[in-house]
Amino acid sequence: MSTFLFSDIIFGPVKSRRFGVSLGINLLPCDRKLCSFNCIYCECGWTTKNSSKTGNGWVDALTVETMLEERLQEMKLRDELPDTITFAGNGEPTLHPQFLPIMKATIALRGKYAPDAVVAVLSNASTAHRPDVFEALMLADSHVMKLDTGTEETYKQINQPASATPFAKILSNLMLFNGDLTIQTMFLKGNHDGHVVDNTTEKEINRWLDYLIQIKPQLVMIYSIARDTPAGDLGIVEKEQLNIIARQVEKAGIKAEVF
């Protein structure tokens, strides 16, 4: 199925149910996906071999800062400032070797042009244990972290970590936030690579809920496939079932919302 890449460093703004008017920052190369995961549902397509390693294609921190300031100036002149400045794009934003200085510049520009905007990061948490990355993440207002499964087996099936990061490491990284995070979970059913894939089974949900109770997120965002995926034999989970899962999360004392 067809997927897409973000062709700009600064993109949008776009209207998002999750983030309001969101101005995006894509720190990854514009010609390929670059990620520490290779999720079978990713709208940006497959992570190519060795693309998770540092190499050519990084935009430098000064360029990001200049382009962000120009866009914020334009938006301020039109009186259309963003609700959220969101680090997202063609993969895992925290892989950028200058993520910390870029985050510091973003916080400064937010204060100068859009003090009411929230700075958010969408991440898979695979690098959160690195001191420089964690310092940068703590400067952001909103930490939206992925947790799609409750077991190592399904984690490997769905997220296919390119860096071979064990599931236990992802869980320990999520615990570093002491509850100051949002968990984002994609539910899906289908087949991939000759195996059934389903993270809605009773076993998966129960283990996932156990981890959520330990992580103590402020919010769990629950959703299913809405766009084309690189793996072709995947199906959506109906809203009724997503609502049932959300109620289970809320019974555990954690706020949940279905998107």
| CA atoms in the 13 A half-sphere facing the CB of 199 | 31
Give the pairing type, strands 182-187 and 142-146.
parallel
Residue 230 lies in a domain: yes
Q: Could you give the 3-state DSSP secondary structure of residue 129? A: coil
pLDDT band for position 238 (cuts 50, 70, 90): very high
Element (H, E) at 22: strand 20-26
Q: Is residue 178 a part of any domain in this protein?
A: yes
Q: Is 5 within the bounds of a domain?
A: no
Q: Are 211 and 167 in contact (CB under 8 A)?
A: no
Tell me the pTM: 0.93
In this prediction, residue 52 carries a pLDDT of 44
| Number of compact structural domains in the chain | 1
Q: Is residue 176 part of a domain?
A: yes
Mean pLDDT of the chain: 94
Q: How many helices (H) does the chain have, and how many strands (E)?
A: 7, 11
Looking at residue 56, its pLDDT comes to: 56
- Is residue 53 predicted with pLDDT exceeding 80? no
Domain that holds residue 201: 10-258
Q: Is residue 199 part of a domain?
A: yes
Say if 174 falls within a structural domain. Answer: yes
Mean pLDDT in residue range 113-129: 98
Residue 114 lies in a domain: yes
In a domain, 186, yes or no: yes
User: Is the pLDDT at 245 greater than 60, yes or no?
Assistant: yes
Question: Where residue 128 sits, what CATH number does that domain have?
Answer: 3.20.20.70
218, 181 in Cβ contact below 8 A? yes
Question: What pLDDT was estimated at residue 2?
Answer: 53
Token pair 């615990």 is found at 175
> Which conformational region is residue 50 in: left (phi greater than 0), alpha (psi within -120 to 50 degrees), or beta?
left
How many C-beta neighbours within 10 Å does residue 199 have? 22
Quote the pLDDT of residue 9: 96
| DSSP-assigned beta bridge partners for residue 20 | 16
Cβ atoms of 28 and 88 closer than 8 Å: no
